[in-house]
Amino acid sequence: MSAVRRLARFIDPYIVLLLGTVGIAALLPASGPAADAADGAATGFIGLLFFLYGARLSTQEAVDGLRHWRLHLTIIGCTFLLFPLFGLAARGLVPWLLPHDLYEGLLFLCLVPSTVQSSIAFTSIARGNVAAAIAAGSFSSIIGVLVTPLLAATLIGASGGFSADALLGIALQLLLPFVLGQLLRRWIGGLVRRHRAVLSLVDRGSILVVVYAAFSEGMNAGVWHEVSWPRLLALLGVEAVLLTCMLTLTRWGARRLGFGRGDRIAIVFAGSKKSLAAGLPMASVIFGAHAALAVLPLMVFHQMQLIVCAVLARRWSRDPEARAAAARETADDAASG
């Protein structure tokens, strides 16, 4: 029994939930009306998450996050400069390790904007600078609507243009709930801050719903059957190296640039991740009939980044600086209550 307890200490329950969600989606993918319901639930969870963040963060914190231009430039540089450079360097893996179509998908993965929801959720779990993560993720998504198609046209030779609908979708799904939370903060802000466990559940729950919806979509599209197992394992290895390099460089670079702990956490999680939600519709426009195979590297990377970053977020949430920040927040909540 003691051996079981020792083993349990090294197994993160949330990682088990993530892997279990992937397994359920592989065996019982949502399709038809169920897929629409799963997508709707993911959208609703993300909207609720941003509403709660808007209600929790003070207006001054939100403004400071918007003004933090050094952090935003650092994350944008990682997303649209450093990632594409790694993608171009991977051209040397063709064809002996990756076939050309998978390489194009890998390069496309390196061009899409940073993910918003999971970056913010993990930043919150690790007690980083949530306000800055919200602003940086939103900026990346908005810029990506224009920059990703241009980079794809230049580096891949694909066509795809600016989408006003994508901008509207970002505004309605992310910014509107946050603004509503800010407007209602005067009446519900204290309640949200006192019940921080609810926000934590929404953080984790939203990621599980997004994983199930995304993996189900991949199963229904048959993207996991498009390549052989040796090629898929090679892709996993290449993307593991890519994620490791980005996590290492963002953490090292943020420290070298003199950012504080909260900002470093936001930079690591926002600067090392890629958005499946933004990438899927862009791939359908850029690659057309070949979108299913082109988006496979992005889907693999998406699952990998969630699992690895969940481990990091939980680990960093237990370090002494995080505990000190939690103690300060508790004292502030008691004073305001």
Give per-residue pLDDT as tens, 98-132. 888 889 889 999 999 888 778 888 998 888 888 88
Query: DSSP readout, 2-50?
Result: HHHHHHHHHS-HHHHHHHHHHHHHHHS---THHHHHHHHHHHHHHHHHH
What is the rounded CA–CA span in Å between residue 225 and residue 91? Answer: 23
Sign of the C-alpha dihedral, residues 137, 142, 145, 148?
negative
- What are the two backbone dihedrals, phi and then psi, of residue 99, each rounded to the nearest 5 degrees? -70, 165
Tokens representing residue 198 in the block: 């609810």
Q: Are 136 and 75 in contact (CB under 8 A)?
A: yes
Phi, psi for 159 (deg, rounded to 5): -105, 140
Asked if residue 20 belongs to a domain, the reply is: no
- Tens digit of each residue's pLDDT (9 = 90 or more) over 64-80: 767 788 998 999 999 99
268 within domain boundaries: yes
pLDDT at 77: 94
- Distance separating alpha carbons of residues 33 and 1, to the nearest angstrom: 45
Give me the residue label for tokens 């600078």.
129
pLDDT at 334: 47
Structure tokens at 94: 């063709």
Measured distance between the N- and C-terminal CA atoms of the chain, rounded to whole angstroms: 44
**Domain presence at residue 9:** no
Number of structural domains in the chain: 1
Q: In angstroms, rounded to a whole number, what is the distance separating the alpha carbons of residues 120 and 51?
A: 13
In this prediction, residue 158 carries a pLDDT of: 60
Which stretches of the chain drop beneath a pLDDT of 50? 1, 3-4, 7-8, 10, 162, 330-331, 333-335
User: What residue numbers bound the domain in which 38 lies?
Assistant: 32-324
pTM listed for this prediction: 0.73
Note whether residue 336 is domain-resident.
no
- 317 located within any domain: yes
Which of 105, 111, 60, 135 lies closest to 278, judged by CA?
Answer: 111
Q: Is the peptide bond before 95 cis (omega within 30 degrees of 0)?
A: yes
Neighbours of 251 (CB within 10 A): 17
220: Cβ–Cβ under 8 A, 6 or more apart, which residues?
29, 31, 35
Is residue 23 assigned to a domain? no
**158: phi then psi, degrees, rounded to nearest 5:** -90, 160
Residue 232 tokens, joined: 């898929």
- Judge whether 330 lies within some domain: no
The CATH number given to whatever domain includes residue 43 is: 1.20.1530.20
19, part of any domain: no
